[in-house]
Amino acid sequence: MKISREDVVRVAELAYLELSEAELETYRQQVDDILEYIGKLNELDTSNVEPMAQVLSDDQSADATLREDVVVLCDVAAEILQQAPDPEGIYFRVPKVIER
Amino acid sequence: MPCPYKNMTAHWTIDGVREALAARKISARELTREFFGRIAARNAELNAFLALSPERAYAKADEIDAAIADGELLPPLAGVPVAIKDVLSTRGTTTTCGSKILEHYVPPYDATAVERLEAAGAVILGKTNCDEFAMGSSNENSAYGAVRNPAAVERVPGGSSGGSAAAIAAGLAVVSLGTDTGGSIRQPGAFCGVPAMMGSYGRVSRYGLIAFASSLDRIGPFANNVKDVAAVLEVIAGRDANDSTSTTVPVPRYSEEIGKSVKGLRIGIPREYFGDGMDAGVRGKIEAGIEIFRKLGCELVDIRMPHTDYAIATYYIIATAEASSNLARYDGVRFGLRAKGDSLLAMYKNTRGQGFGAEVKRRIVLGTYVLSAGYYDAYYLKGQKVRALIAKDFLDAYLKVDAIVTPTSPVPAFKLGERTADPLQMYLADIYTVTGSLAGVPGISVPCGKIGGELPVGLQVFGPAFGEGRVLQLAHAFEAAGGATV
């Protein structure tokens, strides 16, 4: 077994993900199968291989030069607040964070 | 109201639209109405569209009609009805990503690809169904129900861009956009029997594409023929200041490259893509398809790509790791669903627990795990190293050949519900597409016959990075030589 119930509980905490008891066990089993399969990568000796974070080489990637630092109009606050679940004025309201 | 254009065919092409508009056989408004009529007639059954944007579509159509009346030169996609996968932001039209967490989300801006399509004259009909956050290979992970495959309605259309593929196959749009992270354009293209392409990583700006896995995500077209795929790619490709990974490599005129002869081109046939696990019907069609390339004068070269068998494991580490990070933004604060909770933390957890579906949660669990302290080196770092080996397989191959030909999927479209019980088995069927995703190279799936005259098979052509012209040229020659009916 690659991943325990406690591991899944810990990972769900890290990811801020509420999981039911049934979900915990289902995902534990399924993720365990997947990790078991992923274990086949250990057949490869990669001690001399550089990790690849992205595929673009320097001559393909976007101009290394930064864009000019100019002020551009970005008057979208009202539209963005329209999408907020609980806006108040120009703020996003959230449940109380600090206890008095 | 009946359409006045008597020769209304099921599958329009971009050329067909241009000619009909220029000859005043139909107006852009009438054509738009025709397509909304088709969607109204078929969508209850197929579930390909999640939202329609008639106001926007008719406004654009009227603009095109006015330009025609004034005798103006028309842009390349004038009046062409298009459908957009629901992970691409569309200003003013709901963009759900197939998720409950974004059920009512209306983006305040357009994705660059959408903006460029519309600037080229395209008429945006609406948004197509997909697996939640583009995570899936059957479209069954959509929170809004699965899409049905127009070629065989009891079967899946493939995924994750199932709605975009089905819309083309059913004649509900002339072209559509999908996104591909591990095969999500090419595999549904194969399942539904339509050409479908992803350009090189960085070829099309990802600005406004709601992220799944940022080092893999690409946007690309579905169409009724390869020429239209080329035309759309040409419009959406190119540097965008809003995406620093969009490249400055110049965009060639793909539509001018596709007619060229393919005689003498060297095509690599990697042995690793023809092993066990391939459906016999698929194998038969692909072998017949490869024979077409031989008859066209291509040189077939037996090649090895030794790390192919490690691609699925690598992909599901990297893609889920990036997803777990990208999906952290859905916290119920600024947009999307907010669930109740008596503290901020409880609100976050409940929102994400209720808003995400099973496949997304599974991938967040896996992705968070492979990035977590103590496991990062064993999984994520290892995955990045094997990714380098897979990319090198492609670089080595292109020293010997001009392009690589493989099946798109080891199986044809399967029945709805047939494969949902075992996620790993579903993942394993991505074997022929994830390799090119990890390597960043361009790939197309073109129709390669139908098993039993019913189930479409897709043949995949990979090119070297920024070799889209070569890929399109080969796919077009294959199509012109009767590839779709082998």
> pLDDT per position in chain B (486 positions), as tens?
344 444 456 899 999 999 999 999 999 999 999 999 999 999 999 999 999 999 999 999 999 999 999 999 999 999 999 999 999 999 999 999 999 999 999 999 999 999 999 999 999 999 999 999 999 999 999 999 999 999 999 999 999 999 999 999 999 999 999 999 999 999 999 999 999 999 999 999 999 999 999 999 999 999 999 999 999 999 999 999 899 899 999 999 999 989 999 999 999 999 999 998 999 999 999 999 999 999 999 999 999 999 999 999 999 999 999 999 999 999 999 999 999 999 999 999 999 999 999 999 999 999 999 999 999 999 999 999 999 999 999 999 999 999 999 999 999 999 999 999 999 999 999 999 999 999 999 999 999 999 999 999 999 999 999 999 999 999 999 999 999 999
Q: Return the number of CB contacts < 8 Å for A and B.
A: 177
SS (H, E, C) chain B: CCCCCCCCCCCCCHHHHHHHHHCCCCCHHHHHHHHHHHHHHHHHHHCCEEEECHHHHHHHHHHHHHHHHCCCCCCCCCCCEEEEECCECECCECCCCCCHHHCCCCCCCCCHHHHHHHHCCCEEEEEECCCHHHCCCCCCCCCCCCCCECCECCECCCCCCHHHHHHHHCCCCCEEEEEECCCCCHHHHHHHCCCEEECCCCCECCCCECCCCCCCCEEEEEECCHHHHHHHHHHHECCCCCCCCCCCCCCCCHHHHCCCCCCCCEEEEEHHHHCCCCCHHHHHHHHHHHHHHHHCCCEEEEECCCCHHHHHHHHHHHHHHHHHHHHHHCCCCCCCCCCCCCCHHHHHHHHHHHHCCHHHHHHHHHHHHHHCCCCHHHHHHHHHHHHHHHHHHHHHHCCCCCEEEEECCCCCCCECCCCCCCHHHHHHCCHHHHHHHHHCCCEEEEEEEEECCCEEEEEEEECCCCCHHHHHHHHHHHHHCCHHHC
Give yes or no: B184 in active site. Answer: yes
Tell me whether residues B352 and A18 touch, CB distance under 8 A. Answer: yes
Q: Which member of A31, A40, A96 has the closest CB to residue B313? A: A40
Tell me whether residues B385 and A40 touch, CB distance under 8 A. Answer: no
pLDDT grade for A61, boundaries at 50, 70 and 90: low
- What does the alpha-carbon distance between residue A71 and residue A69 come to, in Å, rounded to a whole number? 7
Q: Which member of A31, A63, A92 has the closest CB to residue B248? A: A63
Give yes or no: B160 in active site. Answer: yes
The mean per-residue pLDDT over the stretch A36-49 comes to 97
Contact at 8 Å (CB) between A71 and B321?
no
Assess A71–B contact: CB distance below 8 Å, yes or no: no
Checking ipTM against 0.90, whether it exceeds it is: yes
Q: Which member of A26, A30, A60 has the closest CB to residue B465? A: A60
Q: Which member of A23, A46, A56 has the closest CB to residue B361? A: A23
Q: B186 to chain A, minimum CA–CA distance in Å? A: 20
Tell me whether residues B310 and A84 touch, CB distance under 8 A. Answer: no
Assess A76–B contact: CB distance below 8 Å, yes or no: yes
Give yes or no: B437 in active site. Answer: no
Q: A22 to chain B, minimum CA–CA distance in Å? A: 12
Catalytic residue among B27, B161, B164, B184: B184
Tell me whether residues B108 and A27 touch, CB distance under 8 A. Answer: no
Q: B465 to chain A, minimum CA–CA distance in Å? A: 9
Residues 6+ apart with CB under 8 A from B305: B270, B272, B273, B393, B394, B397, B404, B435
The mean per-residue pLDDT over the stretch A6-20 comes to 98
**Chain A residues touching B105 at Cβ < 8 A:** 83
Tell me whether residues B313 and A38 touch, CB distance under 8 A. Answer: yes
**Chain B residues touching A46 at Cβ < 8 A:** 382, 385-386, 389
Predicted local confidence at residue A71, as pLDDT: 93
Predicted local confidence at residue A76, as pLDDT: 87
Q: A89 to chain B, minimum CA–CA distance in Å? A: 13
**Chain A residues touching B423 at Cβ < 8 A:** 30, 33-34
For chain B, list the domains and their CATH numbers: 14-257 (3.90.1300.10)
**Chain B residues touching A97 at Cβ < 8 A:** 343-344
Identify the three-state secondary structure at position A92. Answer: strand
B-interface mutation test, from A1, A2, A10, A11, most B Cβ less than 10 A away: A11
Tell me whether residues B365 and A17 touch, CB distance under 8 A. Answer: yes
Report CA torsion sign: B197, B201, B204, B205: positive
Assess A83–B contact: CB distance below 8 Å, yes or no: yes
The mean per-residue pLDDT over the stretch A39-67 comes to 84
Assess A63–B contact: CB distance below 8 Å, yes or no: yes
**Chain B residues touching A14 at Cβ < 8 A:** 368, 372
